[in-house]
Structure 1
Amino acid sequence: MSPLAQAVIYSLVALPAIAQSPAFATITIKPALSANPPGARMRVLPGGNLTGSAVSVNALLSYAYDVPSNPSPRLSNLPEWALREKYDIEAKAPANAVPPGLPEGEARSRVQQMVRELLAGRFQLVLRVENRTMPVYALTIASGGPRLQKSPIAGKGCAFQTGPDACHNFVGGLGHPLNAKAIDMDDLAHYIANWTGLPVVNRSALSGLFTVNTEGWVPMRLPPPPPNTTATAVNPFAGLPTIFDVLRKLGLELKRQQDTLSVYTVEHIERPAAN
Protein backbone atom coordinates (compact mmCIF):
# COMPACT_ATOMS: atom_id res chain seq x y z
CA MET A 1 0.00 0.00 0.00
CA SER A 2 1.38 3.40 -0.94
CA PRO A 3 1.94 6.07 1.75
CA LEU A 4 -0.79 8.12 0.10
CA ALA A 5 -3.25 5.27 0.40
CA GLN A 6 -2.31 4.80 4.05
CA ALA A 7 -3.02 8.40 4.91
CA VAL A 8 -6.56 8.96 6.14
CA ILE A 9 -8.26 12.18 7.16
CA TYR A 10 -11.01 11.59 9.66
CA SER A 11 -13.07 13.21 12.33
CA LEU A 12 -12.58 11.31 15.55
CA VAL A 13 -16.29 10.71 16.03
CA ALA A 14 -16.10 8.33 13.07
CA LEU A 15 -13.43 6.07 14.55
CA PRO A 16 -14.69 2.46 14.69
CA ALA A 17 -12.93 1.93 18.03
CA ILE A 18 -15.24 4.46 19.65
CA ALA A 19 -18.19 2.19 18.95
CA GLN A 20 -16.68 -0.18 21.52
CA SER A 21 -16.10 2.57 24.08
CA PRO A 22 -18.74 5.21 24.87
CA ALA A 23 -18.06 8.92 24.95
CA PHE A 24 -18.06 10.88 28.19
CA ALA A 25 -21.61 11.40 29.40
CA THR A 26 -21.02 15.01 30.48
CA ILE A 27 -18.14 17.38 29.79
CA THR A 28 -17.42 20.77 31.33
CA ILE A 29 -14.56 22.83 29.89
CA LYS A 30 -13.62 26.30 31.11
CA PRO A 31 -10.54 28.47 30.58
CA ALA A 32 -8.22 28.06 33.54
CA LEU A 33 -8.11 31.02 35.91
CA SER A 34 -4.30 30.96 35.81
CA ALA A 35 -2.09 29.81 32.93
CA ASN A 36 0.50 28.28 35.28
CA PRO A 37 -1.09 27.48 38.64
CA PRO A 38 0.97 25.47 41.15
CA GLY A 39 -1.73 22.79 41.21
CA ALA A 40 -1.83 22.06 37.48
CA ARG A 41 -2.73 18.39 37.05
CA MET A 42 -4.69 15.82 35.11
CA ARG A 43 -6.25 12.75 36.69
CA VAL A 44 -8.16 9.70 35.46
CA LEU A 45 -10.33 8.33 38.25
CA PRO A 46 -11.50 4.72 38.67
CA GLY A 47 -14.53 4.28 36.45
CA GLY A 48 -13.11 6.54 33.73
CA ASN A 49 -13.93 10.03 34.99
CA LEU A 50 -11.40 12.67 33.95
CA THR A 51 -10.50 15.80 35.88
CA GLY A 52 -8.01 18.41 34.77
CA SER A 53 -6.75 21.67 36.24
CA ALA A 54 -4.92 24.01 33.86
CA VAL A 55 -4.55 21.30 31.19
CA SER A 56 -3.43 22.18 27.67
CA VAL A 57 -4.82 20.63 24.49
CA ASN A 58 -1.31 19.32 23.90
CA ALA A 59 -1.47 17.38 27.18
CA LEU A 60 -4.80 15.84 26.18
CA LEU A 61 -3.36 14.83 22.81
CA SER A 62 -0.30 13.34 24.46
CA TYR A 63 -2.47 11.16 26.70
CA ALA A 64 -5.02 10.21 24.03
CA TYR A 65 -2.52 9.27 21.31
CA ASP A 66 0.61 8.25 23.26
CA VAL A 67 2.74 10.93 21.63
CA PRO A 68 5.33 13.08 23.43
CA SER A 69 4.14 16.37 24.88
CA ASN A 70 7.34 17.99 23.64
CA PRO A 71 7.67 18.69 19.89
CA SER A 72 7.87 15.38 18.07
CA PRO A 73 7.90 14.11 14.48
CA ARG A 74 4.80 12.10 15.41
CA LEU A 75 2.59 15.19 15.87
CA SER A 76 2.65 18.29 13.68
CA ASN A 77 0.71 21.43 12.78
CA LEU A 78 -0.60 22.01 16.31
CA PRO A 79 -1.28 25.75 16.77
CA GLU A 80 0.62 27.66 19.42
CA TRP A 81 -2.48 28.34 21.50
CA ALA A 82 -3.01 24.59 21.95
CA LEU A 83 0.34 24.49 23.75
CA ARG A 84 -0.06 27.70 25.74
CA GLU A 85 -3.71 28.04 26.72
CA LYS A 86 -4.96 25.99 29.68
CA TYR A 87 -8.37 24.61 30.58
CA ASP A 88 -10.13 23.20 33.62
CA ILE A 89 -11.97 20.04 32.60
CA GLU A 90 -14.50 17.76 34.29
CA ALA A 91 -15.62 14.79 32.19
CA LYS A 92 -17.85 12.06 33.63
CA ALA A 93 -17.88 8.62 32.07
CA PRO A 94 -21.12 6.65 31.63
CA ALA A 95 -21.89 3.90 34.09
CA ASN A 96 -19.84 0.76 33.40
CA ALA A 97 -17.71 2.50 30.75
CA VAL A 98 -14.66 1.23 32.67
CA PRO A 99 -15.97 -1.52 34.97
CA PRO A 100 -14.02 -2.63 38.06
CA GLY A 101 -11.61 -5.48 37.40
CA LEU A 102 -10.96 -4.53 33.80
CA PRO A 103 -7.29 -5.13 32.88
CA GLU A 104 -5.32 -1.91 33.28
CA GLY A 105 -4.31 -1.71 29.62
CA GLU A 106 -7.90 -2.09 28.45
CA ALA A 107 -9.11 0.49 30.98
CA ARG A 108 -6.55 3.01 29.74
CA SER A 109 -7.48 2.30 26.13
CA ARG A 110 -11.16 2.99 26.82
CA VAL A 111 -10.42 6.29 28.52
CA GLN A 112 -8.06 7.26 25.70
CA GLN A 113 -10.88 6.68 23.21
CA MET A 114 -13.20 8.87 25.25
CA VAL A 115 -10.56 11.63 25.35
CA ARG A 116 -10.22 11.35 21.58
CA GLU A 117 -13.97 11.80 21.32
CA LEU A 118 -13.77 14.81 23.65
CA LEU A 119 -11.10 16.39 21.43
CA ALA A 120 -13.18 15.80 18.32
CA GLY A 121 -16.47 16.97 19.79
CA ARG A 122 -15.42 19.96 21.88
CA PHE A 123 -12.25 21.12 20.10
CA GLN A 124 -13.41 20.10 16.60
CA LEU A 125 -10.16 18.19 16.15
CA VAL A 126 -9.56 16.54 12.79
CA LEU A 127 -6.33 14.63 12.23
CA ARG A 128 -4.60 13.23 9.21
CA VAL A 129 -3.16 9.89 10.26
CA GLU A 130 -0.39 8.15 8.37
CA ASN A 131 1.55 5.01 9.20
CA ARG A 132 5.24 5.60 8.54
CA THR A 133 8.28 3.37 8.84
CA MET A 134 10.99 5.28 10.68
CA PRO A 135 14.03 4.82 12.93
CA VAL A 136 13.08 4.33 16.59
CA TYR A 137 14.64 3.33 19.87
CA ALA A 138 13.24 0.04 21.13
CA LEU A 139 13.19 -0.21 24.93
CA THR A 140 14.43 -3.73 25.67
CA ILE A 141 15.88 -5.83 28.50
CA ALA A 142 19.67 -5.75 28.72
CA SER A 143 21.70 -8.95 28.52
CA GLY A 144 22.05 -9.25 32.31
CA GLY A 145 18.28 -9.06 32.84
CA PRO A 146 16.15 -6.32 34.42
CA ARG A 147 17.14 -4.76 37.74
CA LEU A 148 13.84 -3.14 38.59
CA GLN A 149 12.07 -2.78 41.92
CA LYS A 150 8.44 -3.84 41.98
CA SER A 151 6.13 -1.07 43.12
CA PRO A 152 4.32 -1.56 46.44
CA ILE A 153 1.29 0.05 44.78
CA ALA A 154 -1.08 -2.51 43.29
CA GLY A 155 -2.15 -2.17 39.69
CA LYS A 156 -5.84 -2.43 40.52
CA GLY A 157 -7.28 1.05 40.69
CA CYS A 158 -3.91 2.62 39.87
CA ALA A 159 -5.15 5.12 37.29
CA PHE A 160 -3.19 7.83 35.52
CA GLN A 161 -2.68 11.13 37.30
CA THR A 162 -0.02 13.76 37.78
CA GLY A 163 1.58 14.45 41.15
CA PRO A 164 4.56 13.21 43.21
CA ASP A 165 2.75 10.17 44.64
CA ALA A 166 0.66 9.38 41.59
CA CYS A 167 0.60 6.26 39.45
CA HIS A 168 1.95 6.33 35.91
CA ASN A 169 3.69 9.64 36.53
CA PHE A 170 7.28 10.86 36.85
CA VAL A 171 8.48 13.60 39.17
CA GLY A 172 10.58 16.12 37.24
CA GLY A 173 14.03 17.45 37.99
CA LEU A 174 17.27 18.52 36.33
CA GLY A 175 17.92 16.20 33.41
CA HIS A 176 14.53 14.53 33.83
CA PRO A 177 15.55 11.84 36.32
CA LEU A 178 13.46 8.68 36.27
CA ASN A 179 11.72 9.14 39.61
CA ALA A 180 8.33 7.46 39.98
CA LYS A 181 6.34 5.45 42.52
CA ALA A 182 4.41 3.20 40.12
CA ILE A 183 5.13 3.14 36.38
CA ASP A 184 5.09 0.47 33.70
CA MET A 185 7.38 0.15 30.71
CA ASP A 186 4.93 1.94 28.41
CA ASP A 187 5.07 4.91 30.80
CA LEU A 188 8.86 4.83 30.72
CA ALA A 189 9.04 4.73 26.92
CA HIS A 190 6.48 7.54 26.61
CA TYR A 191 8.31 9.72 29.14
CA ILE A 192 11.86 9.51 27.82
CA ALA A 193 10.64 10.00 24.22
CA ASN A 194 10.17 13.68 25.12
CA TRP A 195 13.94 14.17 25.05
CA THR A 196 15.40 11.38 22.90
CA GLY A 197 16.49 11.90 19.32
CA LEU A 198 14.12 9.20 18.04
CA PRO A 199 10.66 7.95 19.06
CA VAL A 200 10.76 5.26 21.76
CA VAL A 201 8.67 2.09 21.69
CA ASN A 202 8.33 -0.46 24.46
CA ARG A 203 9.61 -3.85 23.36
CA SER A 204 10.63 -5.10 26.82
CA ALA A 205 7.67 -7.51 27.32
CA LEU A 206 7.85 -6.59 31.04
CA SER A 207 4.51 -6.27 32.81
CA GLY A 208 3.58 -4.80 36.16
CA LEU A 209 4.34 -1.59 38.01
CA PHE A 210 7.80 -0.54 39.16
CA THR A 211 9.40 2.06 41.41
CA VAL A 212 12.38 3.85 39.86
CA ASN A 213 14.79 6.43 41.22
CA THR A 214 17.69 7.51 39.04
CA GLU A 215 19.87 10.54 38.43
CA GLY A 216 19.17 12.92 35.58
CA TRP A 217 20.59 12.52 32.10
CA VAL A 218 21.66 14.65 29.16
CA PRO A 219 18.67 15.16 26.84
CA MET A 220 19.25 14.42 23.18
CA ARG A 221 16.93 17.24 22.18
CA LEU A 222 15.23 20.13 23.91
CA PRO A 223 11.95 21.91 23.23
CA PRO A 224 12.30 25.42 21.78
CA PRO A 225 13.00 28.15 24.38
CA PRO A 226 10.10 30.32 25.53
CA PRO A 227 9.48 33.50 23.53
CA ASN A 228 11.65 36.55 24.30
CA THR A 229 14.35 34.50 26.04
CA THR A 230 18.03 34.32 25.19
CA ALA A 231 20.15 31.21 25.08
CA THR A 232 22.73 30.80 27.82
CA ALA A 233 26.29 29.64 27.29
CA VAL A 234 26.16 27.59 30.50
CA ASN A 235 25.30 23.93 29.96
CA PRO A 236 23.05 22.94 32.89
CA PHE A 237 23.40 19.26 31.97
CA ALA A 238 27.21 19.14 32.05
CA GLY A 239 28.42 16.09 33.92
CA LEU A 240 25.17 14.13 33.70
CA PRO A 241 25.21 10.62 32.18
CA THR A 242 23.45 9.60 28.99
CA ILE A 243 20.06 7.91 28.98
CA PHE A 244 21.84 4.75 27.84
CA ASP A 245 23.92 4.75 31.05
CA VAL A 246 20.89 5.45 33.23
CA LEU A 247 18.84 2.65 31.68
CA ARG A 248 21.74 0.22 31.88
CA LYS A 249 21.67 0.50 35.68
CA LEU A 250 18.04 -0.63 35.53
CA GLY A 251 18.91 -3.61 33.34
CA LEU A 252 17.36 -1.96 30.30
CA GLU A 253 18.67 -0.61 27.01
CA LEU A 254 17.64 1.27 23.90
CA LYS A 255 18.23 -0.44 20.56
CA ARG A 256 17.99 1.51 17.34
CA GLN A 257 15.78 -0.23 14.79
CA GLN A 258 13.03 0.42 12.23
CA ASP A 259 9.37 0.39 13.18
CA THR A 260 6.05 1.55 11.75
CA LEU A 261 4.28 4.17 13.85
CA SER A 262 1.23 6.36 13.47
CA VAL A 263 2.06 9.98 12.63
CA TYR A 264 -0.57 12.66 13.25
CA THR A 265 -1.05 15.98 11.45
CA VAL A 266 -3.61 18.44 12.79
CA GLU A 267 -5.93 19.42 9.93
CA HIS A 268 -8.38 21.43 12.01
CA ILE A 269 -8.82 22.46 15.64
CA GLU A 270 -10.80 25.17 17.43
CA ARG A 271 -10.95 26.66 20.88
CA PRO A 272 -13.92 25.17 22.73
CA ALA A 273 -16.98 27.11 23.75
CA ALA A 274 -16.83 27.32 27.54
CA ASN A 275 -19.64 25.86 29.64
Structure 2
Amino acid sequence: MKRILLLAATLFAVLPIESQTSSPAKPIVFAVSTVKPAVSTGGNISFLFTPYGLSIRNITLESVIRNAYQLQDDQLLNTPAWARNVRYDIEAKVDDEDREALKRLTRQERAAMVQALLADRFHLKTHPDTRELSVFHLVVAKGGVKMTSTPPPPAGEEGKRRNQGILGSRGELNGTNCPTEVLVQVLSNVTHHLVVDKTGLTDHYDFKITFTDDNTPASAESTAPSIYTALQEQLGLKLESGKAQMPVMVVDQIDQPTAD
Protein backbone atom coordinates (compact mmCIF):
# COMPACT_ATOMS: atom_id res chain seq x y z
CA MET A 1 0.00 0.00 0.00
CA LYS A 2 1.42 3.35 -1.01
CA ARG A 3 2.06 5.70 1.92
CA ILE A 4 1.42 9.44 1.94
CA LEU A 5 4.49 11.23 3.24
CA LEU A 6 4.31 14.21 0.90
CA LEU A 7 0.56 14.61 1.33
CA ALA A 8 0.99 15.56 4.93
CA ALA A 9 3.62 18.04 3.91
CA THR A 10 1.30 19.66 1.41
CA LEU A 11 -1.66 20.00 3.71
CA PHE A 12 -0.09 20.90 7.02
CA ALA A 13 3.28 22.30 6.10
CA VAL A 14 4.74 19.85 8.59
CA LEU A 15 7.79 19.82 6.36
CA PRO A 16 7.95 23.33 4.85
CA ILE A 17 9.46 26.31 6.62
CA GLU A 18 6.90 28.55 8.31
CA SER A 19 6.18 31.75 6.41
CA GLN A 20 6.14 35.21 7.94
CA THR A 21 2.80 36.26 6.47
CA SER A 22 -0.16 37.16 8.62
CA SER A 23 -3.46 35.26 8.79
CA PRO A 24 -6.59 36.65 7.11
CA ALA A 25 -9.04 38.73 9.15
CA LYS A 26 -11.81 36.14 8.63
CA PRO A 27 -11.65 32.35 8.32
CA ILE A 28 -11.46 31.10 4.73
CA VAL A 29 -13.94 28.37 3.80
CA PHE A 30 -14.58 26.34 0.69
CA ALA A 31 -17.47 27.88 -1.23
CA VAL A 32 -18.17 24.84 -3.45
CA SER A 33 -17.06 21.21 -3.44
CA THR A 34 -17.58 18.02 -5.44
CA VAL A 35 -17.10 14.43 -4.24
CA LYS A 36 -16.90 11.53 -6.69
CA PRO A 37 -15.61 7.95 -6.65
CA ALA A 38 -12.04 7.95 -7.91
CA VAL A 39 -11.75 7.69 -11.69
CA SER A 40 -8.76 5.36 -11.36
CA THR A 41 -8.00 3.47 -8.14
CA GLY A 42 -4.74 2.05 -9.43
CA GLY A 43 -2.91 5.25 -10.34
CA ASN A 44 -1.12 7.98 -8.49
CA ILE A 45 -2.55 9.69 -5.44
CA SER A 46 -2.47 13.42 -4.71
CA PHE A 47 -3.60 15.81 -2.00
CA LEU A 48 -2.79 19.37 -3.03
CA PHE A 49 -3.78 22.88 -2.13
CA THR A 50 -4.05 24.82 -5.38
CA PRO A 51 -4.48 28.56 -6.07
CA TYR A 52 -8.24 27.85 -6.21
CA GLY A 53 -8.66 25.52 -3.24
CA LEU A 54 -8.09 21.80 -2.66
CA SER A 55 -7.64 18.95 -5.14
CA ILE A 56 -7.73 15.33 -3.93
CA ARG A 57 -7.22 12.36 -6.24
CA ASN A 58 -7.59 8.64 -5.56
CA ILE A 59 -7.51 8.79 -1.74
CA THR A 60 -9.61 7.00 0.89
CA LEU A 61 -11.63 9.12 3.28
CA GLU A 62 -9.71 7.63 6.21
CA SER A 63 -6.50 9.04 4.73
CA VAL A 64 -8.15 12.44 4.27
CA ILE A 65 -9.23 12.47 7.92
CA ARG A 66 -5.78 11.48 9.15
CA ASN A 67 -4.23 14.26 7.11
CA ALA A 68 -6.80 16.82 8.27
CA TYR A 69 -6.23 15.99 11.94
CA GLN A 70 -2.53 15.07 11.67
CA LEU A 71 -3.00 11.50 12.91
CA GLN A 72 -1.07 8.31 12.33
CA ASP A 73 -2.90 5.07 11.47
CA ASP A 74 -3.30 3.86 15.08
CA GLN A 75 -4.70 7.21 16.25
CA LEU A 76 -7.92 7.09 14.21
CA LEU A 77 -10.51 4.64 15.53
CA ASN A 78 -13.95 3.35 14.50
CA THR A 79 -13.89 4.24 10.81
CA PRO A 80 -16.28 2.09 8.72
CA ALA A 81 -14.95 -0.29 6.06
CA TRP A 82 -16.06 1.92 3.16
CA ALA A 83 -14.06 4.88 4.56
CA ARG A 84 -10.96 2.67 4.61
CA ASN A 85 -11.44 1.13 1.17
CA VAL A 86 -13.38 3.43 -1.17
CA ARG A 87 -11.21 6.01 -2.93
CA TYR A 88 -12.46 9.47 -3.84
CA ASP A 89 -11.70 12.43 -6.06
CA ILE A 90 -12.59 15.64 -4.23
CA GLU A 91 -12.46 19.20 -5.55
CA ALA A 92 -13.13 22.19 -3.30
CA LYS A 93 -12.80 25.85 -4.27
CA VAL A 94 -12.83 29.13 -2.41
CA ASP A 95 -14.53 32.30 -3.64
CA ASP A 96 -12.41 34.35 -6.04
CA GLU A 97 -12.11 37.10 -3.44
CA ASP A 98 -10.45 34.66 -1.02
CA ARG A 99 -7.79 33.30 -3.38
CA GLU A 100 -5.05 35.70 -2.26
CA ALA A 101 -5.79 35.05 1.40
CA LEU A 102 -5.65 31.29 0.75
CA LYS A 103 -1.96 31.59 -0.17
CA ARG A 104 -1.14 33.03 3.26
CA LEU A 105 -2.88 30.47 5.46
CA THR A 106 -0.96 28.59 8.13
CA ARG A 107 -0.95 24.80 8.31
CA GLN A 108 -3.50 24.93 11.14
CA GLU A 109 -5.86 27.14 9.12
CA ARG A 110 -5.65 24.88 6.07
CA ALA A 111 -6.28 21.85 8.27
CA ALA A 112 -9.34 23.60 9.74
CA MET A 113 -10.70 24.15 6.22
CA VAL A 114 -10.45 20.43 5.46
CA GLN A 115 -12.00 19.54 8.82
CA ALA A 116 -14.96 21.81 8.02
CA LEU A 117 -15.28 20.17 4.59
CA LEU A 118 -15.39 16.72 6.21
CA ALA A 119 -18.13 17.86 8.58
CA ASP A 120 -20.14 19.43 5.75
CA ARG A 121 -19.87 16.74 3.06
CA PHE A 122 -19.46 13.58 5.17
CA HIS A 123 -21.16 14.69 8.43
CA LEU A 124 -18.05 13.68 10.34
CA LYS A 125 -18.40 13.78 14.14
CA THR A 126 -15.65 12.65 16.50
CA HIS A 127 -14.46 12.76 20.09
CA PRO A 128 -10.95 12.58 21.58
CA ASP A 129 -9.69 9.75 23.77
CA THR A 130 -6.44 8.16 24.96
CA ARG A 131 -4.99 4.70 24.30
CA GLU A 132 -1.75 2.88 25.07
CA LEU A 133 -0.09 2.45 21.68
CA SER A 134 3.14 1.09 20.26
CA VAL A 135 5.55 3.96 19.59
CA PHE A 136 9.13 4.80 18.80
CA HIS A 137 10.95 6.77 21.49
CA LEU A 138 13.41 9.25 19.98
CA VAL A 139 16.52 9.28 22.19
CA VAL A 140 20.08 10.58 21.96
CA ALA A 141 22.34 7.86 20.56
CA LYS A 142 25.64 6.78 22.09
CA GLY A 143 28.23 9.38 21.16
CA GLY A 144 25.88 12.32 21.47
CA VAL A 145 24.01 14.68 19.20
CA LYS A 146 25.60 15.42 15.82
CA MET A 147 23.23 18.22 14.80
CA THR A 148 24.40 21.86 14.80
CA SER A 149 22.70 24.22 17.23
CA THR A 150 21.08 27.10 15.36
CA PRO A 151 23.13 30.27 15.96
CA PRO A 152 21.43 33.22 17.68
CA PRO A 153 19.95 35.96 15.46
CA PRO A 154 22.16 38.92 14.50
CA ALA A 155 22.23 41.92 16.80
CA GLY A 156 19.12 44.04 16.38
CA GLU A 157 17.01 41.17 14.92
CA GLU A 158 16.29 39.29 18.14
CA GLY A 159 12.55 40.06 18.04
CA LYS A 160 11.96 39.14 14.40
CA ARG A 161 10.20 35.92 13.50
CA ARG A 162 12.68 33.43 12.07
CA ASN A 163 12.19 30.60 9.59
CA GLN A 164 11.68 27.34 11.43
CA GLY A 165 10.93 23.83 10.26
CA ILE A 166 11.97 21.06 7.88
CA LEU A 167 12.02 21.03 4.11
CA GLY A 168 11.69 17.50 2.74
CA SER A 169 12.07 15.68 -0.53
CA ARG A 170 12.24 11.96 -1.22
CA GLY A 171 15.05 10.54 0.89
CA GLU A 172 16.26 13.89 2.31
CA LEU A 173 15.28 16.23 5.16
CA ASN A 174 16.77 19.67 5.76
CA GLY A 175 16.12 21.26 9.15
CA THR A 176 16.39 24.98 9.87
CA ASN A 177 16.11 26.36 13.41
CA CYS A 178 14.23 23.14 14.15
CA PRO A 179 13.05 21.99 17.60
CA THR A 180 12.79 18.26 18.26
CA GLU A 181 8.98 18.53 18.51
CA VAL A 182 8.88 19.28 14.77
CA LEU A 183 11.39 16.51 13.98
CA VAL A 184 9.26 13.84 15.71
CA GLN A 185 6.22 14.86 13.63
CA VAL A 186 8.19 14.38 10.43
CA LEU A 187 9.72 11.11 11.61
CA SER A 188 6.21 9.81 12.32
CA ASN A 189 5.38 10.41 8.66
CA VAL A 190 8.63 8.91 7.38
CA THR A 191 8.42 5.75 9.53
CA HIS A 192 4.58 5.49 9.48
CA HIS A 193 4.80 5.01 13.24
CA LEU A 194 4.10 7.22 16.24
CA VAL A 195 7.26 8.90 17.57
CA VAL A 196 7.63 10.35 21.09
CA ASP A 197 10.43 12.78 21.98
CA LYS A 198 12.57 11.37 24.80
CA THR A 199 15.77 13.25 23.91
CA GLY A 200 15.46 15.93 26.58
CA LEU A 201 16.85 18.40 24.03
CA THR A 202 15.55 21.97 24.32
CA ASP A 203 17.73 23.66 21.68
CA HIS A 204 16.89 24.36 18.02
CA TYR A 205 19.03 22.73 15.34
CA ASP A 206 20.17 22.95 11.72
CA PHE A 207 20.73 19.61 10.00
CA LYS A 208 20.56 17.53 6.85
CA ILE A 209 19.79 13.82 6.75
CA THR A 210 19.88 11.55 3.69
CA PHE A 211 18.28 8.11 3.75
CA THR A 212 16.56 5.47 1.61
CA ASP A 213 12.86 6.36 1.30
CA ASP A 214 10.53 3.34 1.24
CA ASN A 215 8.43 5.08 -1.44
CA THR A 216 11.36 4.87 -3.85
CA PRO A 217 10.67 2.34 -6.67
CA ALA A 218 12.31 -1.01 -6.09
CA SER A 219 14.27 -0.69 -9.33
CA ALA A 220 15.95 2.53 -8.19
CA GLU A 221 19.49 2.04 -6.91
CA SER A 222 20.35 3.74 -3.63
CA THR A 223 23.39 3.52 -1.39
CA ALA A 224 21.80 5.65 1.33
CA PRO A 225 21.11 3.97 4.69
CA SER A 226 17.68 3.38 6.21
CA ILE A 227 16.11 6.22 8.18
CA TYR A 228 16.98 4.37 11.41
CA THR A 229 20.68 4.05 10.55
CA ALA A 230 20.81 7.56 9.09
CA LEU A 231 19.43 9.06 12.31
CA GLN A 232 22.25 7.51 14.35
CA GLU A 233 25.08 8.12 11.89
CA GLN A 234 24.10 11.61 10.73
CA LEU A 235 22.14 13.21 13.60
CA GLY A 236 23.26 11.25 16.66
CA LEU A 237 19.69 10.18 17.45
CA LYS A 238 18.02 6.78 17.79
CA LEU A 239 14.52 5.30 17.57
CA GLU A 240 13.69 2.69 20.21
CA SER A 241 10.48 0.63 20.37
CA GLY A 242 8.19 1.23 23.34
CA LYS A 243 4.67 1.94 24.61
CA ALA A 244 3.02 5.22 25.55
CA GLN A 245 -0.37 6.72 26.32
CA MET A 246 -1.25 8.62 23.15
CA PRO A 247 -4.16 10.80 22.06
CA VAL A 248 -6.58 9.18 19.60
CA MET A 249 -9.68 10.34 17.74
CA VAL A 250 -12.81 8.17 17.73
CA VAL A 251 -15.30 8.50 14.87
CA ASP A 252 -18.87 8.82 16.17
CA GLN A 253 -20.58 9.47 12.83
CA ILE A 254 -19.57 9.56 9.19
CA ASP A 255 -21.89 9.27 6.19
CA GLN A 256 -21.05 7.93 2.77
CA PRO A 257 -21.73 10.76 0.30
CA THR A 258 -23.70 10.67 -2.90
CA ALA A 259 -21.54 11.48 -5.91
CA ASP A 260 -21.99 14.94 -7.41
Shorter-chain TM-score tier: 0.5 to 0.7
- Tell me which residue corresponds to 2:211: 214
Q: Distance in 1 between matches of 2:137 and 2:100?
A: 30
CA contact (8 A) 1:28 1:89 kept: yes
Compared with structure 1, are the counterparts of its residues 136 and 83 closer, same or farther at alpha carbon in structure 2 (3 Å cutoff)? Answer: same
Under a length normalisation based on structure 1, what TM-score does the superposition of the two structures give?
0.57
Compared with structure 1, are the counterparts of its residues 243 and 181 closer, same or farther at alpha carbon in structure 2 (3 Å cutoff)? Answer: closer
- Tell me which residue corresponds to 1:88: 89
Equivalences for 1:81-120 in 2 at 5 Å?
81-94=82-95, 95-96=97-98, 99=101, 102=104, 107-120=106-119
Q: Which moved more, 1:260-269 or 1:185-194?
A: 185-194
Aligned alpha-carbon RMSD (Å): 4.2
Task: Report how many residues are paired.
Answer: 202
Compared with structure 1, are the counterparts of its residues 209 and 20 closer, same or farther at alpha carbon in structure 2 (3 Å cutoff)? Answer: farther
CA contact (8 A) 2:212 2:226 kept: no
What SS class does the counterpart of residue 106 from structure 2 fall into? helix
Is the aligned partner of 1:200 residue 2:206? Answer: no
Under a length normalisation based on structure 2, what TM-score does the superposition of the two structures give?
0.60
- Tell me which residue corresponds to 2:48: 43
Unaligned runs of 5+ in 1: 1-18, 149-154, 159-166, 172-178, 218-239
Percent identity at matched positions?
A: 24
Q: Which has the higher helix share?
A: 2
Compared with structure 1, are the counterparts of its residues 22 and 131 closer, same or farther at alpha carbon in structure 2 (3 Å cutoff)? Answer: farther
Equivalences for 1:247-262 in 2 at 5 Å?
247-251=231-235, 252-254=237-239, 261-262=246-247
Equivalences for 1:175-194 in 2 at 5 Å?
179-180=171-172, 185=183, 188-194=186-192
Q: Distance in 2 between matches of 1:50 and 1:209?
A: 32
CA contact (8 A) 2:134 2:242 kept: yes
Equivalences for 1:1-275 in 2 at 5 Å?
21-37=27-43, 39-45=44-50, 49-68=53-72, 71-72=73-74, 74-94=75-95, 95-96=97-98, 99=101, 102=104, 107-131=106-130, 136-139=135-138, 143-146=144-147, 171=170, 179-180=171-172, 185=183, 188-194=186-192, 196=193, 199-201=194-196, 212-215=209-212, 244-251=228-235, 252-254=237-239, 261-275=246-260
What SS class does the counterpart of residue 67 from structure 1 fall into? coil
Q: Distance in 1 between matches of 2:103 and 2:30?
A: 20
Compared with structure 1, are the counterparts of its residues 216 and 257 closer, same or farther at alpha carbon in structure 2 (3 Å cutoff)? Answer: same
Compared with structure 1, are the counterparts of its residues 32 and 135 closer, same or farther at alpha carbon in structure 2 (3 Å cutoff)? Answer: closer
Compared with structure 1, are the counterparts of its residues 187 and 114 closer, same or farther at alpha carbon in structure 2 (3 Å cutoff)? Answer: same
Q: Distance in 2 between matches of 1:130 and 1:193?
A: 23
Unaligned runs of 5+ in 2: 1-24, 150-161, 176-181, 215-223
CA contact (8 A) 1:185 1:207 kept: no
